[in-house]
Amino acid sequence: MKHGHFLMALFAWLLWYHPVEYRYPLPVQKDEKGLTKGYHKFHDSWSLEDAFESKKECVDALPRAIKKQKELTQWIEQDDKRKSVLRDIPKTSAIYVELFILREYPADEGGGNFGSSTRLKYWCLPSSTDPRLIGDRD
């Protein structure tokens, strides 16, 4: 969204989008603790999606943001023909919702033989809070 600082000053609540992608080699191998070997953060970004006068307006916009993301993911799925799983997970509160997209990119499909899991979070935060300065603490 353009003019982010202007919106931050004008509106009380902001809707932020936070996708984080992790990658890991295929086939999946586990270490002695049961964790996926080679699992690493590949991409992490924040973007300001919208602005609202009240927390209620922002929270009410969360389902629309999720619907838009699901439609986009289905479109990407049809375009690249790779397996994707988009699922709702129970991490939902009054201020954020979270989705996962799981994909595999086998070498025989030109994908480099890796798997990818992407967390998509939408946050409603007061305009005085810039999440890029705080970070996401799971």
Rounded distance, CA 129 to CA 12, Å? 10
pLDDT in tens, 18-29: 888 898 888 888
pTM tops 0.75? no
Task: Return all residues near 115 (Cβ < 8 A) that are at least 6 apart.
Answer: 23, 24, 25, 26, 28, 102, 103, 104, 105
108: confidence class by pLDDT, cuts 50, 70, 90: low
pLDDT tier at 73, thresholds 50, 70, 90: low
**What pLDDT is stored for residue 2 in this prediction?**
45
**Which SS3 state, helix, strand or coil, does residue 127 take?**
coil
